Structure 1
Amino acid sequence: MNDNPNALTDSPTGSFRFYLQGMGVSSFAHGLQIVLFPWLLVGVLNESPERVGIAQMALMLPQLLFVLWGGVMSDNRHPGQHLFRLYLLYNLPCLLLMGALWSGQLSFSVMLLYGFCFGTITAFVQPARESLLSRVVDSQLQQAVARASFVQFTAQSAGIFLAGYMDRIGLLPLIGLQLVMLATSGWLLRNSLGYLPESSMGRRGSTWVDMMSGLKLVWHHRRLFQLMMVVAATGFLGFGLYLVAMPLLTREVYQQGASFFASIQFTFMLGMIIANVIIIRLVGRFRQPGRVLLTSLLIRGLFLIIMALHPPVWLLFLLVLLWGGASGVAMMLGRSLTHEESPQKYRARVVSVYQLSLFGAATVGAWLSGHAIASVGVLTAIGTLGALTVVTALVAIKFSDLWQPLPNDSREG
């Protein structure tokens, strides 16, 4: 079974299979969230672009405020047990939303509170979950990240697909299912890692000093710093725009409903799945991951420019599929490069800087996207941010070390 030197193997204390199961169940729940949250704003409350941007910002703002703290907590705790407790906390925002829907009191204020609570828990979950990944496999992190990404995107697609039937199933049953799946995921992730000696976890010191240690490590590590700048550009120019523009594009440009929006989300995830299947089955491991990452950023900008020309529906879905594929490659490479370049002792803290770069920039991007769409329209805003993405990619290709060939080494992922 392990004659292949590229084969993934469990760590002595971990089970990658349990980790993947936990990731899958969690991602299914988040797939429901991807459709339900924006459509409650756009399709149920009929909010303006500015307010949709503000609500998406409230969902992601905790990443900016708490993710570094979350990374420190993850380095100082057993990540499986820590995740189990965090996943149980998702009950609070889910029950809040269910109560508002049940009583007919759903409002913009409730959505802001729900988004901020859900995002706060996620700010602590993400660095812990990424840190757990590197503890449940012994080698080949690029392959491990690719397989985890495949499970994540596939399960999210299933959740998105099911959420597309919200008119038939009802909002309350879907949110109740989301609650159950999140609790189940926490149990599976807890069981993916056995006992860890105290020496394998960080010493508890000053939280502020520990938070700054992750930032300082990235600041003084040239490739990591440049990687985080590219990740921030992706969050600001792409992710933030996607969260706000896609539901508004559905409603205002194509004049469609929830099923059309869910189909867009499903197509995007399908592109991510296809990209990760290709990586797992055909590529295996990129020898120059930085070049692939920057090329992906350039291509995504071009897709946005074409999308701004108001293509017919079939071409829109093709562009979304390709955009998802390029984003899947970029996400896999960003995560794997972060793991490979950071020492195990500080990995959760460095991962938290990655999350801060992506979601912190996306927070601002979502807010600005809402205002840009309100000012110049959906299509013009998409085209403008697409052009900025192309310019950013070209500058990074010209000046970044990420484009330069790696030394001839044979580092294991």
Structure 2
Amino acid sequence: MFGSLGIYNYRLYASGQIISLVGVWMQRVAQDWLVLELTNGSPVALGIAASLQFLPVLLFSMWGGVLADRLDKRKLLLWLESALGVCALALGLLDVTGVVQLWHVLVLCFLLGCFSAVETPVRQSFVVEMVGRESLTNAVAINSMMFNLARIIGPAIAGVTIVAIGTGWVFLANAISFVGVVLGIWLMRTSELLRSDPLPREKGQLLSGLRYVRGRPDLLTVMLLVLFIATFGMNFYMTLAIMARNVFGGDADAYGLLSTLIAVGTFAGAAWAARRKTPRLTVFIGSGIVFGLLEAISGLMPTMLLTGLMMIPVGIAMMTFNTTANATIQLAVEPEMRGRVMGIYMLVFLGGNPVGGPLMGWLGEINGRAPIVVGGAVSMLVSITAWIILVRRGDIARPRPRFRKQKQHEDPPASPAELQPSDR
């Protein structure tokens, strides 16, 4: 289950990454709460902040994939992780000194999004260089486990810390946490990295990545479904904050609790994914249907406790969906295309937030429950539609009859035990 951790470079990477991810999740909670405090609880302002953070994905994620194919990924990550830490440090200093304003937060959200848009495809495509193709699926699942373990720990710490000493110290703690991941990457044994030959700088490399994906129906299917569900169904950074504050009248610790409970589910889903060797299309789409249904139901729960408990199975379904999508993409592409394809994948995974964020914020102004209910309904409907289309195309087999049909001239079998299962 944890085989990839036996690889020295990946073990260093994972050790630093888990520390940094805890800080990142602490900042996400603190940032959302700071925006709500500065705007007297405006869901629209929260949606705008989310859009500014994810808008750079539309602009730079594919270029980040091109850089990943061209340059030394390890060195590139050292610079990018350092830049992310500086953004957290700036926001923390503005906050603890009491001069922070909404426009400060919005500008830093945009800068953070710019660096993240490039960093994510580079980091995703770097995994195979640390562990090799044989251990890639396991490493992807362990990455998800770390991400969601941090998602359990980070919001819980952030909720208590915000109530006790304020949001500013959470940002500063996140800045310090980046030291761990930078140090881990710095100490790697470069001779043990399984690097692919970097591409020479040429014109049209971004377009060639797009043409590659367009010519692969399997990749297109995964990416289109991820686009819709990520845009409308996975806005928990915003919908849970709205539910905690505006529906149930809770404080930052209530938001942290809801975030932690969904992370419990996603961690369990990632642990299950680590045991699977190959992704399956039926699991991928089926988990999308279940995720949408459970999310819509969770938005209708009458109390915060019941909503929180529903977040656990929602998280399991969501992580099954995400992990299967990621593993499918990573294993399906050629090494020289991996960076660009992962850049496109991150574009569809995160790039819909500039649209989904304000839309969900607007729905939240009308009714605090609407974003999570509507998001779940959309996720379920697009997954069902994808299932129907793939069955008609033959990519997913139709249900087979369990028994042979009897011909009219044949005598019926003497007993049900004599019925033979179909060998079709």
Same fold (TM over 0.5): yes
Aligned ranges 1:307-346 → 2 under 5 Å: 307-346=298-337
CA displacement at 1:273 relative to structure 2: 0.9
Q: What is residue 16 of structure 2 aligned with on the other side?
A: 22
CA deviation string 1:359-382 (max 9, x = no partner): 1112211121112222x3122343
CA displacement at 1:8 relative to structure 2: 4.5
CA deviation string 1:91-130 (max 9, x = no partner): 4322331232133222221111010011111111111111
Q: What is residue 69 of structure 1 aligned with on the other side?
A: 63
CA deviation string 1:1-47 (max 9, x = no partner): xxx9x954877xx7221121232122112111221111111245424
Helix, strand or coil at the partner of 2:351: helix
Q: What is residue 377 of structure 2 aligned with on the other side?
A: 387
- Is 2:185 the partner of 1:189? yes
- Is 2:287 the partner of 1:296? yes
Which region of structure 1 is more displaced relative to structure 2, 89-98 or 191-200?
191-200
Q: Of residues 202, 205, 213 in structure 2, which corresponds to 1:210? A: 205
Q: What is residue 417 of structure 2 aligned with on the other side?
A: none
Which region of structure 1 is more displaced relative to structure 2, 172-181 or 65-74?
172-181
Q: What is residue 410 of structure 1 aligned with on the other side?
A: none
Q: What is residue 243 of structure 1 aligned with on the other side?
A: 237
Separation of aligned partners in 2, 1:117 and 1:394: 37
Which region of structure 1 is more displaced relative to structure 2, 386-395 or 122-131?
386-395
Is this contact kept in 1: 2:9–2:130, CA < 8 A? yes
Helix, strand or coil at the partner of 2:369: helix
Separation of aligned partners in 1, 2:85 and 2:118: 15
Tell which has more relative contact order, 1 or 2 (C-alpha 8 A, sep 6+). 1
- Is 2:72 the partner of 1:78? yes
Q: What is residue 221 of structure 1 aligned with on the other side?
A: 216
Q: Which amino acid aligns with 1:293?
A: F
Is this contact kept in 1: 2:65–2:121, CA < 8 A? yes
Larger Rg: 2
CA deviation string 1:326-356 (max 9, x = no partner): 1111111111111001111110110111100
Separation of aligned partners in 2, 1:271 and 1:192: 32
CA displacement at 1:358 relative to structure 2: 0.8
Q: What is residue 409 of structure 1 aligned with on the other side?
A: none
TM-score of the pair, normalised by structure 1: 0.89
Helix, strand or coil at the partner of 2:355: helix
Give the length in aligned residue pairs: 392
Q: What is residue 128 of structure 1 aligned with on the other side?
A: 122
Separation of aligned partners in 2, 1:348 and 1:10: 25
CA displacement at 1:169 relative to structure 2: 4.1
Separation of aligned partners in 2, 1:39 and 1:324: 22
- Is 2:364 the partner of 1:369? no
Is this contact kept in 1: 2:38–2:102, CA < 8 A? no
Separation of aligned partners in 1, 2:395 and 2:144: 24
Distance verdict in 2 for CA 1:22–1:256, change over 3 Å: same
Q: Of residues 387, 401, 404 in structure 1, which corresponds to 2:396? A: 404
Q: Which amino acid aligns with 2:45?
A: R
Separation of aligned partners in 2, 1:59 and 1:8: 32
Separation of aligned partners in 2, 1:368 and 1:193: 46
Q: What is residue 412 of structure 2 aligned with on the other side?
A: none
Separation of aligned partners in 2, 1:354 and 1:402: 24
Distance verdict in 2 for CA 1:186–1:8, change over 3 Å: closer
CA displacement at 1:59 relative to structure 2: 0.9
Separation of aligned partners in 1, 2:385 and 2:218: 16
Is this contact kept in 1: 2:299–2:369, CA < 8 A? yes
Q: Which amino acid aligns with 1:344?
A: P
Aligned ranges 1:255-266 → 2 under 5 Å: 255-266=249-260
- Is 2:373 the partner of 1:378? no
- Is 2:100 the partner of 1:106? yes
Which region of structure 1 is more displaced relative to structure 2, 126-135 or 192-201?
192-201
Q: Which amino acid aligns with 1:121?
A: F
Separation of aligned partners in 2, 1:50 and 1:63: 20
Stretches of structure 2 that go unaligned for 5 or more consecutive residues are 398-424
Q: Of residues 264, 276, 282 in structure 2, which corresponds to 1:284? A: 276
Distance verdict in 2 for CA 1:402–1:332, change over 3 Å: farther
Q: Which amino acid aligns with 1:384?
A: V
Is this contact kept in 2: 1:62–1:116, CA < 8 A? yes
Q: Which amino acid aligns with 2:308?
A: F
